[in-house]
């Protein structure tokens, strides 16, 4: 399982869907669950819009879903990377999955 992002929206207002899907690299795989949206443009106050179901993200991370590089950066903004690191250390997967946690 992977946590990924795909583009949606328009050229003027690009957005990303954050979702969970099976398969390591294929782009056109069936989506298991949508867990959020991320808009990279800042609003008038200077904030980016991030709509993420944190409980479902925690659930999928606990189930072993590995975030892609882009999804990992979004999860870092919310503070879920510490949870990912804790789960990896607890399961003993630290050596095989350090690659995506390294800055």
What's the angle, vertex CA 3, arms to CA 78 and CA 86, rounded to 5? 55
Which CATH number fits the domain that encloses residue 63? 3.30.1320.10
Q: Tell me the residue range of the domain where 40 lies.
A: 2-101
For the stretch 55-97, pLDDT in tens is: 888 888 888 888 888 888 888 877 776 555 555 555 554 444 3
Helix 69-78 × helix 81-91 angle, to 10°: 110
Token representation of residue 25:
């690299």
For the stretch 9-51, pLDDT in tens is: 888 888 999 999 887 666 677 888 999 888 888 877 777 788 8
> How many structural domains is the chain composed of?
1
């Amino acid at each position: 399982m992977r946590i990924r992002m795909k583009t949606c929206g328009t050229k003027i207002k690009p957005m990303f869907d954050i979702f969970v899907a099976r398969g390591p690299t294929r782009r056109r795989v069936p989506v298991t669950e949508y867990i959020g949206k991320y808009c990279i443009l800042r609003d008038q106050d200077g904030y980016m819009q991030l709509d993420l179901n944190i409980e479902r993200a925690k659930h999928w991370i606990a189930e072993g879903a590995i975030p892609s590089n882009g999804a990992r950066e979004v999860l870092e903004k919310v503070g879920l990377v510490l949870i990912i690191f804790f789960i990896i250390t607890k399961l003993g997967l630290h050596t095989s999955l350090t690659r995506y946690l390294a800055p």
